[in-house]
Structure 1
Amino acid sequence: MKKVRVLHRLSLWVVVSLLLTGAAFAQTKSAKIDALIQQYVANRQFNGSVLVADKGQVIFKKGYGLANMEWNIPNAPDTKFRLGSITKQFTAMLIMQLVEKKKLSLTGKITDYLPDYPKATGDKITIHHLLTHTSGIPNYTNFPKFFETLSRDPVTPESFTKEFSGKPLDFEPGTKFSYSNSGYFLLGTIIEKVTGKSYADVLTENILKPAQMANTGYDLFSPILPKRATGYEKKGSTYVNSPYLDMSIPYAAGSMYSTVEDLYRWDQVLYTDKLLSASGKATMYTPFIDGYAYGWGVGKSKVGQVKDSLAILEHGGGINGFNTIISRLPKDKQLVVLLNNTGGAPLNDIRKNILRILYDQPVEAPKMPIADLLRQSVLSDPLEKTKQKFTAWKADKAYSVNENEINALGYELMREGKDKEALAVFNLNTDAFPESYNVYDSRGEIYMKMANKAAAIQDYKRSVALNPRNTNGFAMLKELGETVEVPKQEGVVVDKATLESYVGDYQLAPGFSIVITREGDKLYGQATGQGRFELFPESKTKFYLKVVEAQVSFVSNDKGEVEQLILHQNGQNMPGKRLR
């Protein structure tokens, strides 16, 4: 007995030692995460709540800034935030549950469940198309003046469906990816039709109660909801209340609220078969076009100098005054949840830095955003002075010159009726990112507002030339009276000899290359630690990817020898020297 007791005590000591070591390890990472977030808070780039789990255990959770600025109420781990498009993964789960109960079929057509839907399109769009954003149904949030006109009044699912159901499709179902809230709105309507219950009730009964997510639900304006965060938006150096949005509009595409703690419960239940079978989840996580599965983006994430890229399931959300992200790394059961209530936070950058901490990699110090500085300058300085300042900020590594942030500032000024200043901002953005189709698309919009038709046409033509898949650009050209046909990418053919000349290893950074290979008349690329992807020709020298929104160009020297690859992604041009 004594021996047993000694062994028992020894085992306890070992366990205690391991627990203490693990706690210290977690605290070290916790302290690093806290210090990192504090930098973003100091830069006015984050105001919300954070939760991080490692190996299935929460190692960090904390709130930053204010949930309500008028009453000085702080954010906390149990603060409720609007989720925006994170809602889509819950809608996808409800659909898959109905599929397993044989009440729905992934190959079923819209008209199988909504007989009143227009047959011309509803007879050929499937549940699968809706789940993967490949239906071709126009995205209602992109409709002209949507936020000024349609977004403020309550609707029923049936009545609002008519806003987009009769419009022509943007493309043939199943052929392209184009993010569409309309598709997920329809999925909510189908859920209600099949179950005979409201979307909110089906959500509560089939996910929230089984997963014990008591602080999650369908967000409506009228009910008293304890610890609900208020949404804010930046306006210069201060914040304002975000514009009102009736939550019947986002519906099954974006109307949920939750907390970082409840989203951890969601993460954990997904590792079980409590809500859906293993085979059902495998189907749900299988990506289709552009890496989008059913309510989840699925791909690989490169973390610092870690050799292998990591499989990641994630989705972001954005809704008036809020932006959010949930990232799951199943291999090590890691989870990063970031919920922000001031809109426009660089959540992808924050998530990447948190992963670097989890894998003991050096973080990239947050850079000061220039949007506030640019706004102040464009409103007070002569244009030439603003240009000089902008050039200096671009050259200073302490500042972040982000295409999307500058673009957002331009639209902010447009909404305020400051069209001249907005144009100046869009001009700076096109100068800084001349290979981005989106900057010309945005400047085309301000030219249209200012009745400069010729300039708008020129910009939209430049936009679609850079990205022939920019359906909005073609739609605007049509509205402007220009008969520009959407090019058929399948018609571009590059001969095998030219394709062979691109084969090689191109180094974009130390330890990171893209290897180009050819099989028959097809070209493939493979980045370090990532899966192979096909390259589709836009021209003889430029190709596009379907797995992500990116293009690749090949550059030859004076002798006609291919010596460089340029990766065009997120407004950046990343050259890679050919090694072989």
Structure 2
Amino acid sequence: MIKKQFMMLIAIGLIAMSLSCGQEPSSISVSDTKAHKIDSLVGLYADYDGFNGSVLVAHEGTVVFKKGYGLANRSWEIPNTPETKFQIASLSKPFTATLIMQLVAESKLDLHEPISTYLPDFDNQYAEFITTHHLLTHSAGLSRDFNNTSQSNRPKDIIRDIAAMPMDFQPGDKFEYSNAGYDILGYLVETVTGLTYEEALQERIFDPAGMESSGYFRNRPIIKNMASGYYKGFGDYFNIELSNKSTAYASGGLYATVEDLFLFNQSLHDGTLLSEEQLKVMFDKQIPDSGYGGYYGYGWELLEKPIGNMGKLIETVGHSGAIDGFCSLYTYIPSSDTTIIFLNNTRRAFLNSMTTAIAGILYDEPYDFPKMPLAKFLTETIDQNGIEAGISFFKMNRDNTDYYLSEQELIVAGYRYLEEGQARIAANVFELSIDAFPDKDNPYDSYAEALMALGRNQEAIENYKKSLELNPNNRNAVEMLKKLEKL
């Protein structure tokens, strides 16, 4: 893998040399060079299991790169493409906020009126104090999520459950991210327009923007070109539990393609969806977001993000999203009309790292290639050459700066062997995790489980006790020690 990374860097250098030596612009343009660098970068992340999805990059208003990586459906080996549809999770929030701002522009909603004005059936004692502004800025005092008692996807049932929630703080006191608040906004849209949330999206955003590959996700209908969502174990992928995710509603219930999200971006900025004045209000820094070190506007995260690896920062507008089997990241840089969109059909991916590097490419700043996951190549070595070769590989490379070492990835790698009935190999991997992370409780807990599988119960007891010493709240260790004491 190091050789492959080195060869990619050579290829990029050769293209740059050809340009400096008088290569005709019509043959290889600057945008072609940037596209090649982006492809090389994202391709490495995909090779290292750090990305499985689609990307679109536009610079100065023009698309310079778009491509899919990995598989949309692993059972049928269908590849991801720019036309693949993904659940976008909380990246749905800017769409909900856009609907709200359209209604404000039409004088059908007032940002600072209490929501009881529009939702008289919202049975909560704070309804007279919570405003649309509070909901848009995650400052209404509502918890992040709500208890869906009926497991219903009907908006009225969702709102009833949200209304029954206790408040976490007084409306307006601070920022506290809340999916529940954006679900209320979706219900506001329905109440004021007389349309369902889905219909309002179609009529007010998707149709005007020309977004023909986006919609409100429901699990049961067949959606053409829809990616399947996966959990990624270690080198292995597993289907997510199939259930109706439309309960995400207005806080995270949409699906889209990278191409459609770029159309949304263009339609926001050319006046199709909102006036320049309304857009400015949406992008204003409404409230500090201490969790991200930036601000939140109306449905948008307003952050200074790095360009490459030299510490330079630039103002961005965007949003991220994550739901079972999917994650997303949309970043817009107003000063250069740059858009970087990632959609991924596993729960986690290195979307922020790739965005930072791509910004470096676009601005001609130095950037980092991904480091190689040591746990991944450890398991590959074990599978190909045996556990002793794997241990030698690990010890030789644990301090190699070309690799990164993750406690969680080592633990997952060990459990892979444990689940396959290879407890001895699992125990060896967990020993390596203890050696690498001696002050963490999880490696000892996991090693103890492998020792139990090998019948080495006294050693298991010692390791469970060590895990408890490091983390007195490890309930699994407590339960397992009780079980072992009875043997």
The TM-score range, normalised by the shorter chain, is 0.7 to 0.9
Determine if contact 1:387/1:428 at 8 Å carries over to the other structure: no
Is the alpha carbon distance of 1:406 and 1:21 closer, same or farther for their aligned partners in structure 2, counting shifts above 3 Å? same
253, 271, 274: which is aligned to 1:273?
A: 271
- Match for residue 44 of structure 2? 39
Give the letter aligned to residue 447 of structure 1: N
Asked if 1:167 corresponds to 2:172, the answer is: no
Q: Secondary structure at the match of 1:50?
A: strand
Q: Please, which runs of 5 or more residues in structure 2 have no aligned partner?
A: 1-21, 290-294, 382-389, 420-425, 442-469, 480-487
Q: Distance in 2 between matches of 1:407 and 1:186?
A: 41
CA contact (8 A) 1:407 1:426 kept: no
1:304-383 paired onto structure 2 within 5 Å:
304=308, 309-369=313-373
- Structure 2 match to 1:120: 125
Distance 1:308 1:343, change over 3 A: closer
Aligned: 1:51 with 2:61: no
Deviation of 1:198 after TM superposition, in Å, equals 0.5
Q: Which residue type is aligned with residue 298 of structure 2?
A: Y
Q: Any conservation in 1 of the 2:137–2:175 contact (CA below 8 Å)?
A: yes
**2:219–2:242 Cα contact (<8 Å) kept:** no
- Please report how far the alpha carbon of residue 340 of structure 1 lies from its aligned counterpart in structure 2 after TM superposition: 0.7
Q: 1:73 aligns with which of 54, 66, 78?
A: 78
TM-aligned CA deviation for residue 320 of structure 1: 1.1
2-side partners of 1:427 and 1:114: how far apart?
58
Distance 1:245 1:449, change over 3 A: farther
How far is 1:193 from its partner? 1.1
Any idea what SS the aligned residue of 1:174 has?
coil
Task: Please say if 1:398 is aligned against 2:397.
Answer: no
> Which is helix-richer, 1 or 2?
2
Please state whether the residue corresponding to 2:32 is helix, strand or coil: helix
Separation in 2 of the partners of 1:135 and 1:193? 19
Alpha carbons of structure 1 residues 318 and 427: separation in structure 2 relative to 1, 3 Å:
farther
5+ residue gaps, structure 1: 1-16, 378-385, 434-442, 453-580
Q: What SS class does the counterpart of residue 302 from structure 2 fall into?
A: strand
Look up the match of 1:61: 66
Q: Which residue of 1 aligns with 2:282?
A: 284
- Describe the shift of the 1:307–1:49 C-alpha distance in structure 2 as closer, same or farther (beyond 3 A): closer
Instruction: Please state whether the residue corresponding to 2:474 is helix, strand or coil.
Output: helix
Which of 205, 208, 222 is the equivalent residue of 1:207?
A: 205
Write the deviation string for residues 268-292 of structure 1: whole angstroms up to 9, x where unpaired.
1121222111111111111212111
Q: Which amino acid aligns with 1:94?
A: L
Contact 1:111 1:119 in 2 (8 A): no
Inter-partner Cα distance in structure 2 for 1:372 and 1:107: 52
- For 1:121, what is the secondary structure of its paired residue? coil
What secondary structure, in the 3-state scheme, does the structure 2 residue paired with 1:336 have? strand
Q: Does 1:447 align with 2:474?
A: yes
Partners of 1:367 and 1:114 in 2: CA distance: 51
The reply to whether residue 131 of structure 1 matches residue 131 of structure 2 is no
C-alpha distance 392-65 of structure 1, shift in aligned 2 (>3 A): same
Q: Which moved more, 1:298-307 or 1:117-126?
A: 298-307
Task: Note closer, same or farther for the CA distance 1:368–1:451 as it changes in structure 2 (3 Å cut).
Answer: same
Q: 1:299 to 1:402 in 2, by over 3 A?
A: farther
| Count of residues paired in the alignment | 405
Per-residue deviation, residues 64-111 of structure 1 (Å, max 9, x unmatched) = 111111111111111111101100000000000011111111112222
Partner of 2:41: helix, strand, or coil? helix
Native 8 Å contact 1:49 1:77 kept in 2: yes
Task: State the distance in 2 between where 1:343 and 1:353 align.
Answer: 21
1:233 alignment partner, one of 228, 231, 234: 231
Amino acid at match of 1:82: Q
The CA deviation string for residues 481-526 of structure 1, in whole angstroms up to 9 with x for no partner, is xxxxxxxxxxxxxxxxxxxxxxxxxxxxxxxxxxxxxxxxxxxxxx
- What percent identity do the matched residue pairs reach? 37
**Is the Cα contact below 8 Å between 2:374 and 2:405 reproduced in 1?**
yes
With the length of structure 1 as denominator, give the TM-score of the two structures. 0.63
1:101-130 Cα distance to aligned partner (Å, 9 max, x none): 111111122222221223422221111111
Where 2:228 maps in the other structure, the secondary structure is coil
SS class of match (2:245): coil
1:289-340 CA-to-partner distances (Å, cap 9, x unmatched) read: 2111111111222313778632111111111111111110111111111111
Cα separation, partners in 2 of 1:121 and 1:342, compared to 1, 3 Å: same
Secondary structure (helix, strand or coil) at the match of 1:67 reads: strand
Give me the whole-angstrom Cα distance separating, in 2, the residues matched to 1:127 and 1:250.
19
Deviation per residue, 1:8-31 (Å, 9 max, x gap): xxxxxxxxx9x9469611110000
Is 1:262 aligned to 2:260, yes or no? Answer: yes
Q: Cα 1:213–1:239, aligned 2, differ >3 Å: closer, same or farther?
A: same
242 and 374 in structure 1: CA distance in 2 versus 1, 3 angstrom threshold:
farther
Cα 1:67–1:305 shift into 2, 3 Å: closer
Equivalent residues in 2 for 1:90-101 (5 A)? 90-101=95-106
| Letter in structure 2 aligned against 1:28 | T
Q: Output the amino acid matched with 2:78.
A: I
Structure 2: distance between partners of 1:282 and 1:444: 48
Alpha-carbon separation, structure 2, partners of 1:248 and 1:277: 30
Q: SS at 1:240's partner residue?
A: strand
Alpha-carbon distance change, 138 to 390 in structure 1, aligned in 2, over 3 angstroms: farther
Q: Which residue identity lines up with residue 342 of structure 1 in the other structure? A: T
Q: Is the 8 A contact 1:188 1:199 kept in 2?
A: yes
- Asked whether the equivalents of residues 309 and 357 of structure 2 are also in contact (C-alpha less than 8 Å), the reply is no
What are the superposed Cα offsets for residues 529-550 of structure 1, whole Å, 9 maximum, x if unpaired?
xxxxxxxxxxxxxxxxxxxxxx
Give the TM-score of the pair, scaled to structure 2: 0.74
| 21 and 226 in structure 1: CA distance in 2 versus 1, 3 angstrom threshold | same
As a proportion of its length, which structure holds more strand? 1
Question: Which has the higher relative contact order, 1 or 2, with Cα contacts under 8 A spaced 6 or more apart?
Answer: 2
The CA distance in 1 between the partners of 2:176 and 2:403, in whole Å, is 32
Contact 2:308 2:368 in 1 (8 A): no
Q: Give secondary structure in 1 for the equivalent of 2:335.
A: helix
- Decide whether the 8 Å contact of 2:219 with 2:243 is kept in 1: no
Matched residue of 1:159: which SS?
helix
**CA distance 1:25–1:174, change in 2 (3 Å):** same
1:296 aligns with 2:296: no
Question: 1:427–1:95: structure 2 CA closer, same or farther, 3 Å change rule?
Answer: farther
1:365, distance to aligned residue in structure 2 (A): 1.7
- After TM superposition, the structure 1 stretch with the greater mean CA deviation from structure 2, 249-258 or 304-313, is 304-313
CA shift for structure 1 position 446:
6.8
What is the CA-CA distance between 1:166 and the residue it aligns to?
Answer: 1.8
The equivalent position to 1:89 in structure 2, one of 91, 94, 101, is 94
Q: Deviations over 1:123-154 (max 9, x none)?
A: 2111111111111211226x6xx8xx97xx44
The change in CA–CA distance for 1:277 and 1:387 in structure 2 (over 3 A counts) is farther
Root-mean-square deviation (CA), in Å? 3.7
User: Relative to structure 1, is the Cα distance of residues 446 and 41 closer, same or farther in structure 2, using a 3 angstrom cutoff?
Assistant: farther
Deviation digits for residues 39-86 of structure 1 (CA, Å, limit 9, x no counterpart): 011101111111111110011111111111111111111111110110
